[in-house]
Amino acid sequence: MKRHLISAADLTRDDAVLILDTAEEMARVADRPIKKLPTLRGLTVVNLFFEDSTRTRISFEAAAKRLSADVINFSAKGSSVSKGESLKDTALTLEAMGADAVVIRHHASGAPYRLATSGWIDSAVVNAGDGTHEHPTQALLDAFTMRRRLVGRDAGLGKDLNGRRITIVGDVLHSRVARSNVQLLHTLGAEVTVVAPPTLVPIGVESWPCEVSYSLDDVLPKSDAVMMLRVQRERMNAAFFPTEREYSRRYGLDGDRMAKMPEHAIVMHPGPMNRGMEITAEVADSDRCTAVEQVANGVSTRMAVLYLLLGGSEPAVTTASTPRTEESK
């Protein structure tokens, strides 16, 4: 693995499978009486959030705390950033405080990359969502949820998502979740189709490793998992579709549409959901919707990422074997 997790494209297939396998073991910690491991004791993880987020920040915070790391939450509101401090000065401050990892969410695409490559800080950088670019840990937890549901908990260990058909529906243009998912799912061998109104398909989508469709009804019967994206009203400063009602008619998932999906297929949503817009309450509350499961899996997956980045002298190596050696017995 690389030292930072900036993009889902940074991960090889073996890296991704190692993260998912590790997450599977981390998930078991949640069932124990003491939900804590001593592994990252003495390390400091800074959550640097320039953009509002509840579940991602809480998820990273819970993950770091379960691994016994010290967590410092830094949100732009009410901090020196609102007084005009630059990213560089904020980074230098964190460096001076001795952060071992910085989890950054930023409204500007590329901010985590800048932080990781500028030489301002020595710590590992984890991208928790930057602009409309990427959100790699969300893609990892989605892949983890799919592997659990479609392949099986124990049966999935060591396996990827080879041949599974994943459909991503909605505001692909503004979605960092879609971008990271397409990359990662492709790496894991899945066949990805993105479905969106033409106005919400990004320029350059031809170069993405996925199919593009404008018709949800055509794709649904051939999907093992359908991921509904949130319609991001806050990023919509132009008219991308005539009315919300028209959008939800053509691209929303309701009970009738869900019935067209194969028996085993699951419905995913990265949250927060706009009930009645991209997903109806009937679908959101059904057994096939994994939205709540995804939140729980998020903590396990982020524990795995933090452990594999920080738990040794360097990030986990996936090519060479690291069996327990005799010296340590």
Partner 1 sequence: MDAQAAQNVGAQSTEAMRPVLEAQDIARVLTRIAHEIVERAKGADDVVLLGIPTRGVYLARRLAAKLEEITGTKIPVGSLDITMYRDDLRLKPARAIGRTEIPGDDIDGRLVVLVDDVLFSGRTIRAALDALGDLGRPRAVQLAVLVDRGHRELPIRADYVGKNLPTSLRETVKVQLQEEDGRDAVLLGQRTDTAAGQ
Binding site members for L-aspartate: 83, 176, 230
Told to check if 309 binds partner 1 by CB under 8 A, we report: yes
Closest to partner 1 by CB, 237 or 328: 328
Of 12, 39, 75, 93, the one binding partner 1 by CB under 8 A: 39
CB atoms within 10 A of CB 201: 18
CA distance 169 to 251: 7
Q: Tell me: does residue 308 bind partner 1 (CB under 8 A).
A: yes
Spatial separation of the C-alpha atoms in residues 228 and 240, rounded to whole Å: 17
Residues numbered 81 to 120 that lie near partner 1 (CB under 8 A) are none
Does 315 help bind partner 1 (rule: CB under 8 A)? yes
C-alpha neighbours within 13 Å on the C-beta side of residue 146: 35
- For residue 302, the minimal CB distance to partner 1 (Å) is 15
Establish if 69 lies at the interface with partner 1 (CB under 8 A). Answer: no
Beta carbon of residue 44, minimum distance to partner 1 (angstroms, whole number): 15
d(CA 151, CA 164): 10
Q: Is 25 in the site for partner 1 (CB under 8 A)?
A: yes
70 lines the binding site for partner 1 (CB under 8 A): no
Q: Choose between 33 and 163: whose C-beta lies nearer to partner 1.
A: 33
Let me know: does 179 contact 129? Beta carbons within 8 Å.
no
- # of chain residues touching partner 1 (CB under 8 A): 34
Which of residues 173 and 309 has its CB atom nearest to partner 1 in the complex? Answer: 309
Using CB under 8 A as the criterion, which residues of the chain lie in contact with partner 1 when the complex forms?
A: 14, 18, 21-22, 25, 28, 32-34, 36-39, 307-317, 320-329
